[in-house]
Amino acid sequence: MKDLDRLAAPGTPERELVDRLTPSSLPRHVAIIMDGNGRWARQRGLPRVEGHRAGIRAVRDTVEAAARLELEALTMYAFSTENWKRPRWEVRTLMALLKEYLAKELRTMVDNNIRFRPIGRLGELEPEIQQGLAQAVELTSKNTGLTFQIALNYSGRSELVDLVRYAVAAAHSEKLSPDTIDEEWVAAHLTTAGMPDPDLLIRTSGELRISNFLLWQIAYAELHFTPVLWPDFTTRDLIQAVADFARRERRYGGVVEGGHDNTEEAAE
């Protein structure tokens, strides 16, 4: 890691955690369900939209920290297909903040070698946002550092529905036969095609649920739930989650040599 001092100042507890991380103990891909903006605002007697505004700072800091940690990918859940159910003014504010974010952060993404990649049913977003997204994709497409995926009008189920529709249409036109379909084929036809599955999924605000995020991709993700409300989430919280991940033992359904004691075997 190059930018260590900017990630965590020397002598701080976070720096100690970072110093203990080895490249192989780091997650390649971190996914985050950013939750708790509304509650953050309510605690302060502010309207919900102020929580969303404050949440932008946390997005900016987290993207930067992920780039400094040299992660391969960061996927953040910004707007779900179910979030259209919210009051019109709240949806409008979220879309306005997204436009503002794209305009302000494009430069930072370009300068930090970040590749921007929106996922979700983007065609249902307003044209101006679609243009902003396309521009950000285009201007960052040659970058080789962190891939920053932002999930907009996204849900895991709608993504799977779209995939099934595509497969049926392709089968009808005889471009696809059932035996072509295996797990690799499915992964390669999701919006996240080409990215490794998330190793670590973080959800803020104390809710213990997935809320329709990356259902296929998180099959073996390690889960990290924190009570911190999204606007209060800092680089320190990301480092803590990553350090916690580094201590986990992943088994993928198998057994790990030298892992946890197998009592039956020990008794033999």
Q: With binding defined as CB under 6 A, does residue 121 bind ligand IPE?
A: no
The verdict on 35 binding Mg ion (CB under 5 A) reads: yes
What angle, rounded to 10 degrees, do the helices at 88-111 and 127-140 form? 20
Question: Among 234, 241, 201, which residue's Cα sits nearest to residue 220?
Answer: 201
Segment near ligand IPE (CB under 6 A); pick from 4-12, 31-39, 105-113, 168-176: 31-39
Segment interacting with Mg ion (CB under 5 A) among 29-37, 57-65, 140-148, 190-198: 29-37
**∠ Cα 111 113 118 (to 5°):** 105
Q: Please identify which of the residues 3, 61, 83, 232 carries the catalytic annotation.
A: 83
DSSP 157-219: HHHHHHHHHHHHHHHHTTS--GGG-SHHHHHHTSTTTTSPPPSEEEE-TT----TTSSTTTTT
Residues touching ligand IPE: how many (CB under 6 A)?
18
Binding mask 152-191 for ligand IPE (x = CB under 6 A): ----------------------------------------
- 83: annotated active-site residue: yes
Query: Which among 65, 264, 237, 50 is positioned nearest to 148, based on CA atoms?
Result: 65
Task: Verify binding: residue 207, ligand IPE, rule CB under 6 A.
Answer: yes
| Cα 148 from Cα 174, distance rounded (Å) | 35
Annotated catalytic residue, options 3, 5, 19, 35 = 35
Question: What is d(CA 98, CA 78) in angstroms, rounded to the nearest whole number?
Answer: 9
User: Which one of 7, 18, 26, 35 is in contact with ligand IPE (CB under 6 A)?
Assistant: 35
- Nearer Cβ to ligand IPE (40/245): 40
| Residue 212 falls in the annotated catalytic set | no
Q: Which of 99, 211, 234, 246 binds ligand IPE (CB under 6 A)?
A: 211
CB atoms within 10 A of CB 29: 22
Where do contacts with ligand IPE occur on this chain (CB under 6 A)? 33-39, 77-80, 83, 94, 205, 207, 209, 211, 230
Catalytic residues: 35, 83
